[in-house]
Amino acid sequence: MSVVKINVLTVPAERAEVLEGRFAARAGEVDKVDGFESFQLLRPTEGTDKYLVVTTWRDEESFQAWMNSAAFTKGHAQQGGPEAGGAPQGGPAAMGSELWGFDVVTSSTKA
């Protein structure tokens, strides 16, 4: 079955709009990657500054290939603004991150 990767981002309130804007600007880019299955950006609603970036991949190899790709590097550029291939409003939006990994054991999706 698939693997799920959750990037837990610590985002100060004053940088939340920047983070969301960066993801919106690149919407659909990861869809082009072999082995990619789904993406969700989850905004915190209660008592935390943690955003969750949830991706599902066909297998660990697909995820690792994306992590080592030019597309990943471009998507995670922090400096230089859009003209230089970097993010708008330079600098990191998140002040920290942690990567969690899971194997999908069972799943259900409404058709």
pLDDT of residue 70: 84
With the CA atoms of 45, 102, 21 and 62 taken in that order, what torsion angle do they form, in degrees rounded to the nearest 10? -170
What residue segments make up the domains of the chain, in order of their start? 3-103
Contact between residue 94 and residue 44 where contact means Cβ atoms under 8 Å apart: no
CATH for 3-103 (3.40.50.300, 3.30.70.100, 3.30.460.10, 3.40.50.620): 3.30.70.100
Strand order in the sheet with 36-42: 36-42, 50-57, 3-10, 96-103
Place of tokens 């058709």: 111
- pTM here? 0.83
Tokens of 8: 């837990």
Neighbours of 95 (CB within 10 A): 11
Task: Note the pLDDT tens digit of each residue in 27-86.
Answer: 888 999 999 999 999 999 999 999 999 999 999 999 999 999 888 887 776 544 554 444
